[in-house]
Amino acid sequence: MGTVTKKNLIDHVSNLTGHKRHDVKDVIQTFLEQMIEELGHGNRLEFRDFGVFEIKRRAPRVAQNPRTLQPVAVPPKNTVKFKVGRLMKERLDDTHVSGSAAREMSVNGTDGSAALAIRPVRPRRVRETALE
C-alpha cells in the first residue's frame, strides 16, 4: 500500500481515458475546488454508492496541556465527516460478503447497518539504528 498523489491520479485518469493530461488536471482541480466551495457553504455532498461528505460541528471543550497539565479551552470548529458508501464498503471489505450472507449478518443499530468484522492493526516496523 502506498500514497496516491493528485499528480498520480491525473496521470492515471489521463492514460485510462485518452484525454490530455492538462484537460484532466483542470477537471480534477475544478472538481476539488467545487467540493471545498460546497462544503464551505455547509452543503452535504452525496455521491451514490461512493460516500457522503458533510460538515460536522465540534463543540467547544476543555483539554489539558500535556507539558504543564493546565486546562486549555479548545474553541468550537468545523470538520469534514465522510461516511463510506455501499460500493466502497464492499470494495474495502476483505471478506466481500455476498448478498444472502450479508442479510444474515447481525444488525447493530436502528438504521439497519450490519456489524462488520474489525481487523487488528499490524504493528509498524521500527528500523533499528545504532546508538552512538
* Predicted confidence (pLDDT) per residue in 22-68, tens digit: 999 999 999 999 999 999 999 999 999 899 999 999 999 999 999 99
Which cell is 50 given?
461512493
Asked if residue 109 has pLDDT above 60, the reply is no
Asked if residue 21 has pLDDT above 70, the reply is yes
Average pLDDT score over residue span 69-77: 96
**If phi over 0 gives left and psi between -120 and 50 gives alpha, with beta otherwise, what is residue 99?**
alpha
pLDDT at 123: 47
What percentage of the chain exceeds 70 in pLDDT? 70
Average pLDDT score over residue span 1-23: 95
Between 30 and 107, whose confidence is greater? Answer: 30
DSSP single-letter state for residue 84: E
Distances (CA, A) of 117 to 43, 99, 108: 32, 17, 12
- Helices 6-17 + 21-40 axis angle, to 10: 130
pLDDT at 95: 55
Mean pLDDT, the chain, integer: 80
Of 32-46, 95-109, 115-129, where does the model show the most confidence?
A: 32-46
What percentage of the chain exceeds 90 in pLDDT? 64
User: Per-residue DSSP letters for 31-76?
Assistant: HHHHHHHHHHTT--EEETTTEEEEEEEEPPEEEE-TTT--EEEE--
- Residue 93's pLDDT band (cuts 50, 70, 90): confident
Q: How far apart are CA 79 and CA 59, in angstroms?
A: 11
Query: What's the angle, vertex CA 120, arms to CA 46 and CA 85, rounded to 5?
Result: 10
Length of the chain: 132
